[in-house]
Chains A and B, each alone.
Chain A
Amino acid sequence: MNTAKKMIRVANAQGFWGDSLLGPKRLVEEGPVDYLTFDYLSEITMSIMQKQRMRDPNSGYARDFIKMLKMIMPQCRNKGIKLIANAAGVNAPACLAATKQALSEIGLSGVRIGIVEGDDILDRLDALTNEGEALVNMDTGADLASVKDDIISANVYIGAASIVEALQQGADIVITGRASDPSLAVAPLAYEFGWSFEDYDKIAAATVLGHIIECGPQCTGGNYTDWRNVKDFAHIGFPVVEAYEDGSFLVTKHDGTGGLINVESVTSQLLYELGDPARYLSPDCVADFTTIQMEQDGANRVKVHSVKGLPATDSFKVSMSYANGYKILATLCISGPDAIEKAHIVSDMVFARMKMLGADIPEDDRFLELFGSNVLYKGIVESPDQPHEILMRLGAKGMDASKLNVMSSEIAPVLTSGPPGITGFAAGRSRASEVVGYWPALIGKDKIKTTVKVEEV
């Protein structure tokens, strides 16, 4: 019997905030695709967006997404491609308004936009702690009270269910806040195949799919050990996955694109940022990566199947960021002979002069990295005895930015008042920047209610 199996194509068009704008453009032009996912958020982006929003109430979302919409939406409309993006960052209303405006500027109407909210708990922190949510740091066990007044952003990693709801209400574009990365890919599969979230193996398979594609070309030959085997990095294909109702899927890319897809390149990405492989935690399930089976299925095609999963835990992960003082970093190039010895003299000079100017930096808050003296492979490969040149990276940390900024005025003077062979000050003076601390925690799922709204423009 030869019944046509239903298959949908999901592609990742943006692996991070700042990824190449060519990704989505090429994906819609170079071959078939049904859903594009855009993964903009990371721990650090949430705090940057929150700061942007403090300065300008109309910002705090991924503005790149709006630029992209204007570029690709006419084609997406013609081809019936749907978009799922965690582009809302910390300002869903502003992102929705900008999306509507972008669509009207390019003259598109009848587009349904779904917006998923409820991940942002910054304004609820007091109430939640009063209700008994301790929000202790899950890495260190530290009490939230130690940083509570300095919290910049607080967002819950939400799952795919609300995105599915938006798709069920006919959304062509779904915009979310901090939806977890793999959930962006779980949603279209659960929606198209009508999967229950209690079908743990299938939800786990889709989670694995999402994890494989969430960094774009890192599964198609980017950042790959055997890079000499990878063809045409400039035109590397973004990942396109052909997903089937039974939970199996094929990782591939559009014909004619560069890159390499084999079991090793896909496995490399599967291992990226992985913890315990038997318990990959997402808001949608617990996926067991030790059950995954993979085979080559033709050129640049890898089949993934047999994934097993367990029910999700009863808590969501919360990602919080907090202000944790300042840091400053200055760079100078130092030539040999005696580059390393001279760099230490320069470092001592700068900190001594800072002290003379009333900015004494304690030993523990000082930073010195001599790039070219074996920084990256420290203790692993032999260090060069006498490098002909090094990049000196001199820095400091502290709670007082004005004190750190004294460093910036004492870097250039070492060229005329220190040892010879110092150059490369072209980058100019550096300034102290804010240090953002990361505070991961858990929160009871019953405390979080996500909302779904679908509007037509």
Chain B
Amino acid sequence: MATKQVKLMDIALARSGDKGNGSNVGVIARSPEIYAYLDKELTAAKVADHFSEIALGGVTRYDLPNLNAFNFILEESLGGGGTETLITDAQGKVHGLALLHMVVQIDESLLSTIKHD
């Protein structure tokens, strides 16, 4: 089957915010079929590798199959915590878009499962 290289942004949406000294990134697959694909592809280890210079304390994944969504917790990703850090993105506001820059290889047939409003 033909595969295509896409950005995660093409097949998912995301939102992020702070959680203590870390942040969370919620990811929503653009279709149930893509959720099933990401369930295997978008592992905590892969996300930890993607954020290797940002999430210094590792990554945990939680699943919300009811909403075609995942929740990733990025530990120690705010340069020392929301109120104390001097970094620009003190609350991890852009970690969602950062994750959506990931490049993935996907079956072309899955792309047609995305409904466009």
Contact residues of A with B, CB < 8 Å? 43-44, 47, 139, 218, 223-226, 229, 262, 264, 267-278, 289-294, 321, 324, 327, 329, 367, 369, 371, 375-381, 393, 395, 397, 435-438, 440
Interface pair B51/A436, CB less than 8 Å apart: no
C-alpha gap A276/B117 in the complex (Å): 31
Q: State whether A379 and B53 are in contact (beta carbons under 8 Å apart), knowing that A139-B21, A273-B17 are contacts in the complex.
A: yes
Interface pair A268/B15, CB less than 8 Å apart: yes
Partner of B28, one of A43, A268, A293: A268
Contact with A along B33-63 (1 / 0, CB 8 A): 0000000000000000011111000000011
How many A-B pairs with Cβ below 8 Å? 128
Interface pair A225/B101, CB less than 8 Å apart: no
C-alpha gap A387/B49 in the complex (Å): 26
Interface pair B101/A380, CB less than 8 Å apart: yes
**Interface residues of B: mostly helix, strand, loop or mixed?**
mixed
27 contacts between A and B (CB under 8 A): A43-B82, A43-B83, A44-B83, A47-B83, A139-B21, A226-B13, A229-B117, A264-B13, A270-B67, A271-B71, A272-B15, A274-B71, A275-B24, A275-B73, A290-B64, A292-B64, A292-B67, A378-B53, A378-B54, A379-B51, A380-B50, A380-B102, A381-B101, A397-B84, A436-B83, A437-B84, A438-B83
Q: Which residues of A contact B17 (CB under 8 A)?
A: 272-273
Who on chain A is nearest to B116 by CB? A229
Contact residues of B with A, CB < 8 Å? 9, 13-15, 17-21, 24, 26-28, 30, 50-54, 62-67, 69, 71, 73, 81-84, 86-89, 93-94, 96-98, 100-102, 117
Who on chain B is nearest to A215 by CB? B17
Interface pair B69/A267, CB less than 8 Å apart: yes
Give the Cβ gap from A321 to chain B, nearest Cβ, in Å. Answer: 8
Who on chain A is nearest to B20 by CB? A139
C-alpha gap A43/B91 in the complex (Å): 13
Interface pair A393/B88, CB less than 8 Å apart: yes
C-alpha gap A436/B73 in the complex (Å): 23
C-alpha gap A263/B70 in the complex (Å): 15
Q: State whether A225 and B117 are in contact (beta carbons under 8 Å apart), knowing that A274-B26, A369-B87, A438-B82 are contacts in the complex.
A: no
Q: Which residues of B contact A229 (CB under 8 A)?
A: 117
